Structure 1
Amino acid sequence: MAKLDGKVALITGAAAGLGEGIATAYAKYGAKLCMVDLSKDVEKTAQKLRQEYGAEIITVIANVADKEQMKAAAAQTIEAFGALNVACCNAGVCRLAPFEEMPDEIRDFHIDVNIKGVWNTCQSVIPYMLKNGGGNIVIASSVTGDIVADAGEAAYAMTKAALVGLTKCLAVEYADRNIRVNCSQLGYARTPMVEKMAVESNPADPERAIMDIAKGVPMKRLAKPIEVGELFAFLGSDESSYLTGSQIVIDGGSTLPETMSIGTN
């Protein structure tokens, strides 16, 4: 029996990148999926997973920043599968700009997607979880903001750090009602978002920016989306039954070195 057999999971930002990696892991382990994304490409990704794993999947085009759309996505999940056991709050954005030049529109864009999007998703799924006697929520935070930061990431760092606080509060609030809430803290993965950040950082040679990220990681590479998906699958399964309010760093060791120049290596 696969560890997610019988589970129904709603995954946001599921069309590509980390969301595709999460959906792949959930499909592999037997979950039924509601894959949510703004992009119509989410159906192409879902069809690939249906073919590869025989997964039962519905797709929903929705904006996580719109609470009514997320309520509708949760309702469609219940209508299709009769339950909603896991929510993977993955959808997120990152735009780089010097702080003194960052327009309010970019700041608010991060708040709307990264904070309100997770808030809306959680508020949409928790009532169903309470009716079902429990569930799991996995929130995609980041090492950025809570542990480290780079110049130009003020909006992203602020919003991702906020998700750590939300994780802890929800974990306490719902622990005695059998809803567990944990968050991942990812370093860098090779995703479309990171590739866009690389272009913003080094327009002349974005691949150099990605190579330079890898140099600063003790494992000398970026994460693969499926590796993040495996963590989300663990946190959404009964294997993590005594974990709640946890912050799980998954960064290849990138936040460990004190310097890049001192030591025996």
Structure 2
Amino acid sequence: MRLKGKVVIITGAASGIGRASAKRFCEEGATVIACDLNEELLKSLVDEAKGLPGEIVAKKLSVTDRKAIEKLVEELKEKYGKIDGLVNNAGITRDALIQKMSEEDWDIVIDVNLKGVFNMTQFVVPVMLSQGYGSIVNTSSVVGVYGNIGQTNYSATKGGVIAMTKTWAKEFTRKGSNIRVNAVAPGFIKTPMTEKVPEKVIKYMEEKIPLKRMGNPEEIANVYLFLISDESSYITGQVIGVDGGLVL
């Protein structure tokens, strides 16, 4: 098993890519700390994972709540003595053209998608530095590289995630620690976030994708698995696009 004995935190783990990743990691023997605000979906995730080689531990958590994050990290240190991996997956959208985007919609997307990644990493990385190793995967997006109409706030956060990824890949290794930091930039993926997209828009997007279809959450989860595992031991500071060829 590729993650046997590893302790990995996944944020936004109750649905979509986060949920698929939690189950995939559990299949490979990891103890997954599944963090989300939706307790009902977390409970069903734990139930679905019963019988798998690893374990899923559900934790209600907002990535905007620094005190709760600090408490969680202290609990994990005490119980497991280590944190092998962190997947900063939690994210939201509040789309609108810039002329119509409210300050509230700007602030909440920045708070969750950008500052949330900062919050989680700031509390987790001291554990990784003390143990001398770790792998962090940050969820970006193709729109963080190329932009998208009506997503000023979302694009800004996903571009910021890439900048933090590259900075941390340099910063966390400067004293010899083996801490890898990478970003994944999904394309058009079937998740609750894209369920709100009109059918005609989906068909239009599928025609633009060389593989002619949307991606599945499991296809992103497999890339996360690779980056958290020791198989990617010489990869850091990279942005890996998983978009069916949408961006070439």
TM-score by length of structure 2 reads: 0.95
* Mapped contact 1:36–1:73 kept (Cα < 8 A): no
What does 1:20-169 correspond to in 2, within 5 Å?
Answer: 20-40=19-39, 41-51=41-51, 53-146=52-145, 148-169=146-167
What does 1:147-226 correspond to in 2, within 5 Å?
Answer: 148-175=146-173, 176-196=176-196, 198=197, 206-226=198-218
| Pairwise CA distance, 1:167 | 0.2
Q: Distance in 1 between matches of 2:74 and 2:13?
A: 18
Find the counterpart in structure 2 of residue 237 from structure 1.
229
Amino acid at match of 1:168: K
Find the counterpart in structure 1 of residue 7 from structure 2.
8
Q: Distance in 2 between matches of 1:194 and 1:79?
A: 38
Q: How many residues align?
A: 245
Q: 1:233 to 1:61 in 2, by over 3 A?
A: same
Amino acid at match of 1:47: D
- Any idea what SS the aligned residue of 2:49 has? helix
Find the counterpart in structure 1 of residue 16 from structure 2.
17
Please list the CA deviations of residues 94-125 of structure 1 after superposition, one character each: whole Å capped at 9, or x if unmatched. 12111111000000011100111000110111
| Pairwise CA distance, 1:208 | 2.5
Q: Distance in 1 between matches of 2:194 and 2:47?
A: 25
* Mapped contact 1:34–1:77 kept (Cα < 8 A): no
TM-score by length of structure 1 reads: 0.89
* Mapped contact 2:28–2:53 kept (Cα < 8 A): no
RMSD: 1.2
Find the counterpart in structure 2 of residue 263 from structure 1.
none
Name the stretch that deviates more: 21-30 or 114-123.
21-30
Q: Distance in 2 between matches of 1:116 and 1:50?
A: 33
* Mapped contact 2:4–2:54 kept (Cα < 8 A): no
State the structure with more CA Rg: 1
Amino acid at match of 2:131: N
* Mapped contact 1:168–1:245 kept (Cα < 8 A): yes
In structure 2, the gaps of 5 or more residues are none
- Any idea what SS the aligned residue of 1:139 has? strand
Q: Distance in 2 between matches of 1:78 and 1:230?
A: 27
| Pairwise CA distance, 1:228 | 0.4
Runs of 4+ in 1 over 3 A off after TM superposition: none
In structure 1, the gaps of 5 or more residues are 199-205, 257-265
